[in-house]
Chain A
Amino acid sequence: MTEIAMPLVLVLLAVAFAWGLQRLGPEAGATWPHRAPFLGGGVPQTHAWQRWHARYYPMTLLFIAFEMEMMFMYPWAVVYIETGTKALAEMGMFLGILSVGILYGWREGVFRWQ
Protein backbone atom coordinates (compact mmCIF):
# COMPACT_ATOMS: atom_id res chain seq x y z
CA MET A 1 0.00 0.00 0.00
CA THR A 2 2.72 2.45 1.00
CA GLU A 3 4.62 1.57 -2.19
CA ILE A 4 1.89 3.04 -4.36
CA ALA A 5 1.50 6.05 -2.04
CA MET A 6 4.89 7.46 -3.04
CA PRO A 7 4.05 7.89 -6.74
CA LEU A 8 0.83 9.65 -5.74
CA VAL A 9 2.72 12.03 -3.46
CA LEU A 10 5.18 12.75 -6.28
CA VAL A 11 2.32 13.49 -8.69
CA LEU A 12 0.82 15.99 -6.25
CA LEU A 13 4.22 17.57 -5.69
CA ALA A 14 4.96 17.94 -9.40
CA VAL A 15 1.55 19.33 -10.30
CA ALA A 16 1.64 21.82 -7.41
CA PHE A 17 5.15 22.92 -8.37
CA ALA A 18 4.29 23.46 -12.04
CA TRP A 19 1.09 25.26 -11.06
CA GLY A 20 2.99 27.56 -8.71
CA LEU A 21 5.65 28.22 -11.34
CA GLN A 22 3.02 29.41 -13.81
CA ARG A 23 1.64 31.84 -11.26
CA LEU A 24 5.04 33.57 -10.99
CA GLY A 25 4.88 35.83 -14.01
CA PRO A 26 2.97 39.11 -14.21
CA GLU A 27 -0.60 39.21 -15.54
CA ALA A 28 -0.81 39.50 -19.32
CA GLY A 29 -3.02 42.22 -20.75
CA ALA A 30 -5.51 39.92 -22.44
CA THR A 31 -6.56 42.00 -25.42
CA TRP A 32 -8.28 40.31 -28.35
CA PRO A 33 -5.47 40.88 -30.85
CA HIS A 34 -3.02 39.44 -28.30
CA ARG A 35 -5.07 36.29 -27.88
CA ALA A 36 -5.49 35.53 -31.59
CA PRO A 37 -3.74 32.30 -32.66
CA PHE A 38 -0.32 32.67 -34.27
CA LEU A 39 -0.43 32.28 -38.04
CA GLY A 40 2.43 34.55 -39.02
CA GLY A 41 0.19 37.60 -39.42
CA GLY A 42 -2.62 35.62 -41.05
CA VAL A 43 -6.02 34.97 -39.50
CA PRO A 44 -8.12 31.82 -39.24
CA GLN A 45 -11.77 31.84 -40.24
CA THR A 46 -12.82 29.41 -37.50
CA HIS A 47 -11.78 28.07 -34.12
CA ALA A 48 -8.99 25.50 -34.34
CA TRP A 49 -10.99 22.87 -32.42
CA GLN A 50 -12.74 20.71 -34.96
CA ARG A 51 -13.70 17.15 -35.87
CA TRP A 52 -10.11 16.49 -36.78
CA HIS A 53 -9.18 14.37 -39.76
CA ALA A 54 -6.70 12.05 -38.03
CA ARG A 55 -4.91 10.56 -41.00
CA TYR A 56 -3.57 7.52 -39.21
CA TYR A 57 -6.82 5.97 -37.98
CA PRO A 58 -6.25 2.49 -39.56
CA MET A 59 -2.89 2.34 -37.76
CA THR A 60 -4.58 2.85 -34.39
CA LEU A 61 -6.57 -0.37 -34.91
CA LEU A 62 -3.38 -2.30 -35.46
CA PHE A 63 -1.99 -0.58 -32.38
CA ILE A 64 -4.83 -1.85 -30.21
CA ALA A 65 -4.01 -5.45 -31.18
CA PHE A 66 -0.45 -4.98 -29.99
CA GLU A 67 -1.43 -3.08 -26.88
CA MET A 68 -3.63 -5.98 -25.75
CA GLU A 69 -0.74 -8.29 -26.47
CA MET A 70 1.37 -6.29 -24.01
CA MET A 71 -0.95 -7.31 -21.17
CA PHE A 72 -0.14 -10.98 -21.74
CA MET A 73 3.50 -10.19 -22.01
CA TYR A 74 3.99 -8.91 -18.46
CA PRO A 75 3.07 -12.17 -16.65
CA TRP A 76 4.75 -14.13 -19.44
CA ALA A 77 8.07 -12.39 -18.73
CA VAL A 78 7.95 -13.43 -15.05
CA VAL A 79 7.31 -17.14 -15.67
CA TYR A 80 9.34 -17.39 -18.85
CA ILE A 81 12.44 -19.20 -17.53
CA GLU A 82 10.34 -21.61 -15.41
CA THR A 83 8.15 -22.57 -18.35
CA GLY A 84 11.06 -22.81 -20.75
CA THR A 85 10.86 -23.63 -24.44
CA LYS A 86 7.08 -23.91 -24.36
CA ALA A 87 6.78 -20.22 -23.39
CA LEU A 88 9.19 -19.26 -26.16
CA ALA A 89 7.19 -21.22 -28.74
CA GLU A 90 3.89 -19.79 -27.55
CA MET A 91 5.01 -16.17 -27.63
CA GLY A 92 6.78 -16.79 -30.91
CA MET A 93 3.55 -17.99 -32.46
CA PHE A 94 1.60 -15.09 -30.99
CA LEU A 95 4.08 -12.49 -32.24
CA GLY A 96 4.30 -14.31 -35.56
CA ILE A 97 0.56 -14.02 -36.10
CA LEU A 98 0.60 -10.33 -35.13
CA SER A 99 3.53 -9.73 -37.48
CA VAL A 100 1.46 -11.10 -40.34
CA GLY A 101 -0.99 -8.37 -39.31
CA ILE A 102 1.74 -5.76 -39.76
CA LEU A 103 2.62 -7.14 -43.19
CA TYR A 104 -1.02 -7.18 -44.23
CA GLY A 105 -1.48 -3.64 -42.91
CA TRP A 106 1.61 -2.50 -44.77
CA ARG A 107 0.28 -3.96 -48.02
CA GLU A 108 -3.07 -2.27 -47.42
CA GLY A 109 -1.28 1.02 -46.82
CA VAL A 110 -2.37 1.66 -43.21
CA PHE A 111 0.90 3.43 -42.40
CA ARG A 112 0.28 6.02 -45.08
CA TRP A 113 -1.40 9.31 -44.31
CA GLN A 114 -4.90 8.43 -45.54
Chain B
Amino acid sequence: MSLLASLARGAEIPVFAAIGAGGLAPVETLRRRPGLRLVDTPRHARVLLVAGEVDAAHATALERLHAQLARPRATVWWRAPRLFDRGEIADGDDPTGAIRRAAETDEPDQRPDLPPHPWEGIGPHGQGGMGMMGGTPYGRPMAMTAEDIRDGLALDAYRARFGPFLPMLPPGLALDLTLQGDVIVAAGVAAPPYPQGAESDAPGPCAARMLRLMGIGPRAARARGALAALPRGSGMRRRLAAWVDGARVDETPRPLPDALPGRDWTGAALWLASFAPSRLRAACLKPEAA
Protein backbone atom coordinates (compact mmCIF):
# COMPACT_ATOMS: atom_id res chain seq x y z
CA MET B 1 0.00 0.00 0.00
CA SER B 2 2.75 2.45 0.89
CA LEU B 3 4.46 1.56 -2.39
CA LEU B 4 1.26 2.41 -4.26
CA ALA B 5 0.86 5.62 -2.30
CA SER B 6 4.41 6.78 -3.05
CA LEU B 7 3.97 5.92 -6.74
CA ALA B 8 0.64 7.74 -6.83
CA ARG B 9 2.19 10.91 -5.43
CA GLY B 10 3.52 11.89 -8.86
CA ALA B 11 0.27 11.07 -10.69
CA GLU B 12 -1.67 13.53 -12.79
CA ILE B 13 -4.75 14.97 -11.15
CA PRO B 14 -7.85 13.97 -13.12
CA VAL B 15 -10.10 17.00 -13.47
CA PHE B 16 -13.69 17.18 -14.66
CA ALA B 17 -14.48 20.63 -16.01
CA ALA B 18 -17.98 22.02 -15.61
CA ILE B 19 -17.83 24.92 -18.05
CA GLY B 20 -19.78 28.11 -17.45
CA ALA B 21 -19.98 31.43 -19.29
CA GLY B 22 -16.71 32.24 -21.05
CA GLY B 23 -15.04 29.07 -19.76
CA LEU B 24 -14.66 27.14 -22.99
CA ALA B 25 -11.44 28.72 -24.30
CA PRO B 26 -9.65 28.81 -20.90
CA VAL B 27 -10.37 25.10 -20.31
CA GLU B 28 -8.86 24.29 -23.72
CA THR B 29 -5.57 25.74 -22.49
CA LEU B 30 -5.52 23.12 -19.70
CA ARG B 31 -5.51 20.16 -22.08
CA ARG B 32 -1.75 20.02 -22.43
CA ARG B 33 -0.86 21.32 -18.98
CA PRO B 34 1.47 18.83 -17.25
CA GLY B 35 0.24 17.45 -13.94
CA LEU B 36 -3.44 17.66 -14.95
CA ARG B 37 -5.66 15.49 -17.07
CA LEU B 38 -9.10 16.57 -18.24
CA VAL B 39 -11.52 13.65 -18.08
CA ASP B 40 -14.95 13.17 -19.62
CA THR B 41 -16.88 12.03 -16.58
CA PRO B 42 -16.89 12.94 -12.87
CA ARG B 43 -16.43 9.23 -12.07
CA HIS B 44 -12.86 9.42 -13.38
CA ALA B 45 -12.12 12.73 -11.66
CA ARG B 46 -10.57 13.81 -8.38
CA VAL B 47 -11.35 17.51 -8.73
CA LEU B 48 -14.42 19.32 -10.08
CA LEU B 49 -13.28 22.46 -11.88
CA VAL B 50 -16.02 25.06 -12.35
CA ALA B 51 -14.64 27.25 -15.14
CA GLY B 52 -16.56 30.45 -15.84
CA GLU B 53 -19.69 31.79 -14.23
CA VAL B 54 -22.51 29.29 -13.74
CA ASP B 55 -25.90 30.88 -13.13
CA ALA B 56 -27.83 30.02 -10.00
CA ALA B 57 -30.45 28.12 -12.02
CA HIS B 58 -27.84 25.42 -12.62
CA ALA B 59 -26.68 25.27 -9.00
CA THR B 60 -28.61 22.04 -8.36
CA ALA B 61 -27.14 20.42 -11.46
CA LEU B 62 -23.68 21.41 -10.29
CA GLU B 63 -24.34 19.92 -6.86
CA ARG B 64 -25.49 16.67 -8.47
CA LEU B 65 -22.30 16.56 -10.49
CA HIS B 66 -20.26 17.28 -7.37
CA ALA B 67 -21.89 14.33 -5.62
CA GLN B 68 -20.93 11.99 -8.47
CA LEU B 69 -17.21 12.40 -7.91
CA ALA B 70 -15.88 9.59 -5.76
CA ARG B 71 -14.58 10.62 -2.34
CA PRO B 72 -12.20 12.18 -1.57
CA ARG B 73 -13.29 14.96 -3.93
CA ALA B 74 -12.81 18.70 -4.15
CA THR B 75 -14.05 21.74 -6.05
CA VAL B 76 -12.14 24.60 -7.68
CA TRP B 77 -13.95 27.75 -8.77
CA TRP B 78 -11.99 29.27 -11.65
CA ARG B 79 -13.12 32.77 -12.61
CA ALA B 80 -16.46 31.75 -11.17
CA PRO B 81 -18.41 32.93 -8.12
CA ARG B 82 -19.08 30.17 -5.61
CA LEU B 83 -22.50 28.57 -5.76
CA PHE B 84 -21.90 26.52 -2.64
CA ASP B 85 -19.60 27.17 0.23
CA ARG B 86 -16.76 24.73 -0.48
CA GLY B 87 -13.57 24.45 -2.46
CA GLU B 88 -10.72 26.65 -3.63
CA ILE B 89 -10.91 29.83 -5.67
CA ALA B 90 -8.64 30.53 -8.63
CA ASP B 91 -8.71 33.82 -10.51
CA GLY B 92 -5.67 34.04 -12.76
CA ASP B 93 -4.84 32.30 -16.02
CA ASP B 94 -3.56 29.17 -14.35
CA PRO B 95 -5.68 27.23 -11.86
CA THR B 96 -3.04 24.50 -11.43
CA GLY B 97 -1.97 25.65 -7.97
CA ALA B 98 -5.55 25.79 -6.70
CA ILE B 99 -6.25 22.35 -8.21
CA ARG B 100 -3.19 20.93 -6.47
CA ARG B 101 -4.25 22.39 -3.13
CA ALA B 102 -7.80 21.13 -3.63
CA ALA B 103 -6.54 17.62 -4.41
CA GLU B 104 -5.39 17.34 -0.78
CA THR B 105 -8.88 17.96 0.61
CA ASP B 106 -12.24 16.22 0.76
CA GLU B 107 -15.82 17.53 0.63
CA PRO B 108 -19.07 15.80 1.60
CA ASP B 109 -22.16 15.68 -0.66
CA GLN B 110 -24.08 18.89 -1.21
CA ARG B 111 -27.30 17.00 -1.91
CA PRO B 112 -29.40 15.25 0.76
CA ASP B 113 -28.91 11.48 0.89
CA LEU B 114 -32.35 10.53 -0.42
CA PRO B 115 -33.34 8.13 -3.22
CA PRO B 116 -34.99 9.73 -6.28
CA HIS B 117 -38.30 8.24 -5.14
CA PRO B 118 -39.17 6.45 -1.90
CA TRP B 119 -39.12 2.68 -2.48
CA GLU B 120 -37.75 0.79 0.50
CA GLY B 121 -40.33 -1.47 2.09
CA ILE B 122 -42.93 -0.80 -0.62
CA GLY B 123 -44.35 -3.68 -2.67
CA PRO B 124 -44.52 -7.43 -2.07
CA HIS B 125 -40.73 -7.89 -1.83
CA GLY B 126 -39.90 -4.45 -0.50
CA GLN B 127 -38.30 -3.57 -3.82
CA GLY B 128 -40.55 -0.56 -4.40
CA GLY B 129 -42.50 -2.16 -7.22
CA MET B 130 -45.98 -3.44 -7.89
CA GLY B 131 -46.62 -6.04 -10.58
CA MET B 132 -44.14 -6.58 -13.39
CA MET B 133 -43.02 -3.02 -14.10
CA GLY B 134 -45.01 -0.75 -11.81
CA GLY B 135 -43.99 1.45 -8.93
CA THR B 136 -40.50 2.74 -8.37
CA PRO B 137 -38.25 -0.31 -7.91
CA TYR B 138 -34.95 0.74 -6.34
CA GLY B 139 -35.99 4.37 -6.44
CA ARG B 140 -36.96 4.92 -10.08
CA PRO B 141 -39.79 3.82 -12.37
CA MET B 142 -39.04 1.47 -15.25
CA ALA B 143 -39.09 2.76 -18.83
CA MET B 144 -42.41 2.21 -20.62
CA THR B 145 -43.28 1.68 -24.27
CA ALA B 146 -43.88 4.61 -26.58
CA GLU B 147 -44.20 5.35 -30.28
CA ASP B 148 -41.11 5.45 -32.48
CA ILE B 149 -40.63 7.84 -35.37
CA ARG B 150 -38.41 5.71 -37.61
CA ASP B 151 -39.52 2.12 -37.94
CA GLY B 152 -42.70 2.21 -35.89
CA LEU B 153 -41.63 -0.48 -33.41
CA ALA B 154 -43.12 0.55 -30.07
CA LEU B 155 -40.31 -0.17 -27.59
CA ASP B 156 -39.26 1.60 -24.42
CA ALA B 157 -38.60 5.32 -24.44
CA TYR B 158 -35.87 6.74 -22.21
CA ARG B 159 -36.62 10.25 -21.01
CA ALA B 160 -33.97 12.31 -19.29
CA ARG B 161 -32.46 15.75 -18.87
CA PHE B 162 -29.06 15.73 -20.60
CA GLY B 163 -26.67 18.48 -19.52
CA PRO B 164 -25.97 21.30 -18.77
CA PHE B 165 -22.42 20.04 -18.12
CA LEU B 166 -22.03 17.15 -20.55
CA PRO B 167 -18.60 17.27 -22.17
CA MET B 168 -19.86 16.30 -25.66
CA LEU B 169 -22.56 19.01 -25.73
CA PRO B 170 -21.92 22.76 -25.84
CA PRO B 171 -21.47 23.89 -22.21
CA GLY B 172 -24.65 25.08 -20.55
CA LEU B 173 -26.95 23.42 -23.07
CA ALA B 174 -29.51 21.29 -21.24
CA LEU B 175 -31.76 19.10 -23.37
CA ASP B 176 -34.90 17.22 -22.38
CA LEU B 177 -34.61 14.21 -24.66
CA THR B 178 -36.70 11.17 -25.38
CA LEU B 179 -34.60 8.36 -26.81
CA GLN B 180 -35.64 5.11 -28.47
CA GLY B 181 -32.47 3.08 -28.42
CA ASP B 182 -29.87 5.68 -29.36
CA VAL B 183 -32.16 7.67 -31.65
CA ILE B 184 -33.67 10.92 -30.41
CA VAL B 185 -37.43 10.94 -30.96
CA ALA B 186 -38.25 14.18 -29.15
CA ALA B 187 -36.14 17.08 -27.93
CA GLY B 188 -36.68 20.24 -25.93
CA VAL B 189 -34.20 22.90 -24.90
CA ALA B 190 -34.26 23.35 -21.11
CA ALA B 191 -31.40 25.84 -21.05
CA PRO B 192 -29.40 27.51 -23.85
CA PRO B 193 -25.60 27.22 -24.06
CA TYR B 194 -23.57 29.79 -22.16
CA PRO B 195 -22.13 32.75 -24.04
CA GLN B 196 -18.47 32.11 -24.85
CA GLY B 197 -15.78 34.53 -25.90
CA ALA B 198 -15.28 35.36 -29.58
CA GLU B 199 -12.14 33.17 -29.63
CA SER B 200 -14.36 30.10 -29.24
CA ASP B 201 -15.91 30.77 -32.66
CA ALA B 202 -12.50 30.68 -34.37
CA PRO B 203 -12.03 27.88 -36.93
CA GLY B 204 -9.17 26.16 -35.09
CA PRO B 205 -10.88 25.51 -31.73
CA CYS B 206 -14.16 24.63 -33.47
CA ALA B 207 -12.48 22.01 -35.66
CA ALA B 208 -10.56 20.64 -32.67
CA ARG B 209 -13.75 20.20 -30.64
CA MET B 210 -15.47 18.36 -33.47
CA LEU B 211 -12.46 16.15 -34.22
CA ARG B 212 -12.16 15.23 -30.55
CA LEU B 213 -15.66 13.75 -30.76
CA MET B 214 -14.40 11.68 -33.69
CA GLY B 215 -11.51 10.38 -31.64
CA ILE B 216 -8.57 12.15 -33.27
CA GLY B 217 -6.33 15.11 -32.56
CA PRO B 218 -6.56 18.42 -34.38
CA ARG B 219 -3.56 18.25 -36.72
CA ALA B 220 -4.65 19.56 -40.10
CA ALA B 221 -2.95 16.90 -42.21
CA ARG B 222 -5.09 14.20 -40.64
CA ALA B 223 -8.15 16.36 -40.32
CA ARG B 224 -8.57 16.40 -44.10
CA GLY B 225 -8.84 12.63 -44.06
CA ALA B 226 -11.31 12.82 -41.19
CA LEU B 227 -13.82 14.48 -43.51
CA ALA B 228 -14.36 11.12 -45.19
CA ALA B 229 -15.71 9.79 -41.90
CA LEU B 230 -18.73 12.08 -42.13
CA PRO B 231 -21.62 11.37 -44.51
CA ARG B 232 -21.02 12.80 -47.99
CA GLY B 233 -23.00 15.90 -48.75
CA SER B 234 -23.90 16.52 -45.11
CA GLY B 235 -23.74 19.98 -43.60
CA MET B 236 -21.47 18.62 -40.86
CA ARG B 237 -18.88 17.63 -43.43
CA ARG B 238 -19.11 20.95 -45.22
CA ARG B 239 -18.70 22.93 -41.99
CA LEU B 240 -15.80 20.83 -40.73
CA ALA B 241 -14.12 21.22 -44.13
CA ALA B 242 -14.47 24.98 -43.85
CA TRP B 243 -12.98 25.00 -40.34
CA VAL B 244 -10.08 22.78 -41.35
CA ASP B 245 -9.36 25.20 -44.19
CA GLY B 246 -9.37 28.07 -41.69
CA ALA B 247 -12.66 29.63 -42.75
CA ARG B 248 -15.32 30.80 -40.30
CA VAL B 249 -18.74 29.18 -40.30
CA ASP B 250 -21.61 31.57 -39.67
CA GLU B 251 -24.54 29.25 -40.32
CA THR B 252 -27.25 29.26 -37.67
CA PRO B 253 -28.74 25.84 -36.93
CA ARG B 254 -32.43 25.12 -37.19
CA PRO B 255 -34.24 25.21 -33.83
CA LEU B 256 -33.09 22.15 -31.87
CA PRO B 257 -36.56 20.68 -31.16
CA ASP B 258 -37.02 20.37 -34.97
CA ALA B 259 -33.49 19.40 -35.92
CA LEU B 260 -32.55 16.80 -33.29
CA PRO B 261 -35.36 14.22 -33.56
CA GLY B 262 -34.40 11.45 -35.98
CA ARG B 263 -30.68 11.74 -35.30
CA ASP B 264 -28.80 9.07 -33.40
CA TRP B 265 -26.75 10.15 -30.39
CA THR B 266 -23.42 10.28 -32.23
CA GLY B 267 -24.96 12.14 -35.14
CA ALA B 268 -26.64 14.62 -32.81
CA ALA B 269 -23.45 15.30 -30.84
CA LEU B 270 -21.47 15.83 -34.05
CA TRP B 271 -24.20 17.99 -35.55
CA LEU B 272 -24.27 20.25 -32.47
CA ALA B 273 -20.47 20.49 -32.51
CA SER B 274 -20.53 21.50 -36.17
CA PHE B 275 -21.87 24.97 -35.37
CA ALA B 276 -20.00 27.86 -33.81
CA PRO B 277 -20.99 28.22 -30.11
CA SER B 278 -22.41 31.72 -30.59
CA ARG B 279 -24.60 30.58 -33.50
CA LEU B 280 -25.91 27.64 -31.53
CA ARG B 281 -26.73 29.91 -28.63
CA ALA B 282 -28.58 32.25 -30.96
CA ALA B 283 -30.64 29.35 -32.30
CA CYS B 284 -31.59 28.30 -28.76
CA LEU B 285 -32.48 31.84 -27.68
CA LYS B 286 -34.55 32.78 -30.72
CA PRO B 287 -37.84 31.09 -29.75
CA GLU B 288 -37.84 33.00 -26.46
CA ALA B 289 -37.28 36.32 -28.20
CA ALA B 290 -40.09 35.69 -30.66
Interface residue ranges, A against B (CB under 8 Å):
28-29, 31-34, 36, 38-55, 113-114
Residues of chain B with a CB closer than 8 A to A41's CB: 18, 58, 60-62, 64-65, 163-166, 174
Q: A47-B141, A55-B181 are in contact. Are A32 and B264 (CB under 8 A)?
A: no
A54 to B63, alpha carbons, bound, how many Å? 34
Point out the residues of chain B lying under 8 angstroms from A114, CB to CB. Answer: 150-151
Contact of A40 among B155, B162, B183 (CB under 8 A): B162
| Given A38-B42, A55-B183, A55-B264, A43 contacting B160 (CB threshold 8 A) | yes
* List of B residues within 8 angstroms of A36 by Cβ: 64, 67-68, 116
Contact B153 A46 (CB under 8 A): no
Pair A46/B161 contact, Cβ less than 8 Å = no
Given contacts A38-B42, A41-B18, A33 and B109 within 8 Å (CB-CB):
yes
Say yes or no: A113 contacts B174, CB within 8 Å: no
A113 to B68, CA, bound (A): 33
B173 and chain A: residue at smallest CB distance = A40
A52 near B155 (CB under 8 angstroms)?
yes
Interface residues of B (CB under 8 A from A): 18, 41-43, 58, 60-65, 67-68, 70-71, 109-116, 137-145, 148, 150-151, 153, 155-156, 158-167, 169, 174, 180-183, 264
Q: Which residue of B lies closest to A41 (CB)?
A: B61
**Residue in B41, B67, B164 whose beta carbon sits within 8 Å of that of A34 in the complex:** B67
6 residue pairs of the A-B complex, CB under 8 angstroms, read A36-B68, A40-B165, A41-B58, A41-B62, A41-B165, A46-B140
> Judging by beta carbons under 8 Å apart, are B64 and A31 in contact?
no
CA distance A47 to B144 in the complex (A): 10
Contact of A53 among B160, B167, B169, B183 (CB under 8 A): B183
A32–B159 CA distance with the chains assembled, in angstroms: 20
* CA gap between A68 and B180 in the complex, in Å: 31
Nearest chain B CB to A65's CB is how many angstroms away? Answer: 21
Given contacts A52-B156, A114-B150, contact A34 B138 (CB under 8 A): no
Chain B residues lying within 8 Å of A113, measured Cβ to Cβ, are 150, 182-183, 264
Q: Quick one: which of B67, B142, B181 contacts A47, CB cutoff 8 A?
A: B142
Q: Which 5 A-B pairs have CB atoms at the shortest separation, nearest pair first?
A: A41-B61, A53-B181, A40-B166, A42-B161, A33-B67
* Structural contact, A53 and B156, CB atoms closer than 8 A: yes
| Distance (whole angstroms) from the CB of A48 to the closest CB of chain B | 7
Whether the pair A45, B160 counts as a contact (CB closer than 8 A) is yes
CB-nearest residue of chain B to A27: B71
Interface centre among B43, B63, B150, B167 (most CB of A within 10 A): B150
- Could you tell me the distance between the alpha carbons of A53 and B162 in the complex, rounded to whole angstroms? 19
Is A55 a contact of B68 with CB atoms below 8 Å? no
Provide the residues of chain B in CB contact with A51, threshold 8 Å: 143, 145, 155-156
Known: A31-B113, A42-B162, A42-B174. A53 touches B142 (CB 8 A): no
Question: How far, in whole Å, are A44 and B217 apart by their CA atoms in the complex?
Answer: 32
A38 and B41 form a contact (CB under 8 A): yes
How far is A113 from B181 in the complex, measured between Cα atoms in Å?
Answer: 10
A52–B181 contact, CB under 8 A? yes
| Complex: A98 Cα to B153 Cα, angstroms | 28
Bound Cα distance A36, B69 (Å): 11
A106 to chain B, nearest CB (A): 16
A33, B163: Cα distance in complex, Å: 16
- In the complex, besides A33-B68, A33-B109, A40-B162, 11 extra interface pairs with C-beta distance below 8 angstroms are A33-B64, A38-B41, A41-B164, A42-B61, A47-B137, A47-B141, A52-B156, A53-B155, A55-B150, A55-B264, A114-B150
